[in-house]
Amino acid sequence: MTSLWTMHWALLVLPLAWAIPTPIITPLSPSGLKWEIPDAGYDLVAVHFSINADLPGVQAGRYNVDIPRKQGSSWVYVQKGVTLHPGDKVHYWLYALANGRPSQDLNQVWTYSGKNTQAPVTHAPVTQAPVTQAPATHAPAHHPKTEAATQKTPSSGQNIDSVSFNAVPKDCDDSPVCTSYPCLIFDDEFDTLDLKTWEHEITAGGGGNWEFQFYTNNRTNSYVRNGILYLKPTLTSDQYGTNFLEHGKLELWGAGPYDTCTGNQFYGCERQGVPGRVVNPIQSAKLRSSRGFNFKYGKVEIEAKLPTGDWLWPAIWMMPTYDAYGGWPASGEIDIMESRGNLHYTEPNGQSQGVNHMGSTIHFGPDWTHDRWDRGHAERDCKHGTFGDSFHKYGLEWDENNMKFFLDDELILTVDPGNDGFWKYGGYDKTHFNNPWAGASKMAPFDQEFYIIFNVAVGGQAYFPDNLVNAAYPKPWKDADSTAFWNARNLWYPTWKPTENNGEGAALQVNYVKVWKLKP
């Protein structure tokens, strides 16, 4: 998918309507952390916490959950996999809602004394839900894990349906050591939003196509519930008001390690609205694993349901960790899946280009004007309905010889550059360019570590060309005219169905991410 985040905390901190009772925090044996918040007539209680890390204001925290119902006289939540040692500090804040009145208890710290350890509770822990800044106007839709495909291991390529997690940690290191192959080295089923792995990009610059969204770290736009990761676009005016679009300044510079602008290019950290030129009218989410998980070669499988709604642009893709061969696209890009959310969007000949259509692509070349994406590209239609109706599997097998792309275990694209590598494969041997991959392996630039990205972009230029046909109404903007796009919101916004199922039909929904190492 080439191609005002400095929110003043004072605006986010709600006035204290009533005090939230002090929680009972109990470490469990052998691991786990139990939270009990005495009930005081609440409709919902949310917990944000980190271990031995400051949690100022209303930052998301390492763990963040809504507790949607109480057990007996308390709201109870058990976080699995947490191990505390004497002296460890739990930094936390609480949010509670009662009769439509919210309250927060911020900047709290609890220190583990090494006592009061219990055995694990026998009842099932409460399923995580998204944390909201304000009360929802209706009950959120239920999306149990069983709505997704039950097959959790890939069946394409090598037969690894029954492979278990056979990687073990090194001493004093979290890196896996494989004892047999195929070897599952990464598995996120989104029981929580793991912010050590998934970093939010914060930028208005998008991917270089002057899209209409800005990316932010906001639980309105990115959250986990019932084992599903949601990336959901919303209107900027929902957060800041309509007047802000033409008169406000969107400032994303930030101040801390997790709220600092991640992309200054294309005026990504600051935009000023003026009459006739609105700031980015959509806010959305983009997550990347570059801080938490990078790998070279293996099998990737991601099960996801794509967003439905006009001009939505979801992507599941990978970028190089270090740009070893230079700037884009000299160091490569791997697009596992890209699609468009429009329901009735076609080429002039009738070929679908909307949500019932997807593509896989690689990008490579000596500079951005000579990208030979056409040498590694395939497209497919959904066999039944659309990719927004149900979960589908998007896969990549990648080694020192080639790349293979899969849709629901079906091979749709193989890219093998041959022994002469991508320089000759792209036809650059007949040009005057210097070869950035000279002396490297045949797979260069795809012989380095990459990381995984999820995002939902909106509109912009290039990816929604003017010659494609939107049956319901003509494309309402030219080039990157965000104002024309915004002025046509009565046409496209209803297709996002914002009042149905909490607007989640317009969200990219990810059920799991798995990565295997296929050989030593």
With CA atoms as reference, report the closest residue to 330 among 421, 445, 423, 442.
Answer: 445
Q: Are 289 and 198 in contact (CB under 8 A)?
A: yes
- Beta strands 282-284 and 213-215 are parallel
What is the C-alpha separation between 369 and 328, in angstroms, rounded?
10
Q: How far apart are CA 104 and CA 21, in angstroms?
A: 11
Looking at residue 420, its pLDDT comes to 96
The owner of tokens 């209706």 is: 138
Q: What is the dihedral of CA 353, 355, 360, 366, to 10 degrees?
A: 60
Beta-bridged to residue 380, according to DSSP, are: 358
Q: What residues does 26 pair with on adjacent strands?
A: 34
Enter the tokens of residue 442. 């045949």
Q: What is the pTM of this model?
A: 0.71
Beta partners for residue 302, in sequence order? 394, 513
**Domains along the chain?**
9-111 (2.60.40.2140), 167-517 (2.60.120.200)
Instruction: Write out the chain's pLDDT in tens, 520 residues.
Output: 754 333 333 333 334 446 899 999 999 887 889 999 999 888 888 898 989 988 888 777 778 788 877 888 999 999 887 888 889 999 998 988 887 678 889 999 999 988 655 554 444 343 343 433 333 333 333 333 433 343 444 444 444 443 444 555 544 555 667 888 999 999 999 999 999 999 999 999 998 899 999 999 999 999 999 999 999 999 999 999 999 999 999 999 999 988 999 999 999 999 999 999 999 999 999 999 999 999 999 999 999 999 999 999 999 999 999 999 999 999 999 999 999 999 999 999 999 999 999 999 999 999 999 999 999 999 999 999 999 999 999 999 999 999 999 999 999 999 999 999 999 999 999 999 999 999 999 999 999 999 999 999 999 999 999 999 999 999 999 989 999 999 999 999 999 999 999 999 999 999 999 999 999 9
Distances (CA, A) of 370 to 422, 424, 497: 13, 13, 39
DSSP 350-415: S-B-STTEEEEEEE--SSGGG--GGGSEEEEE-SSS-TTTS-EEEEEEE-SS-EEEEETTEEEEEE
- What is the residue whose two structure tokens read 């960790």? 321
The distance from CA 71 to its chain's CA centroid, rounded to whole angstroms, is: 32
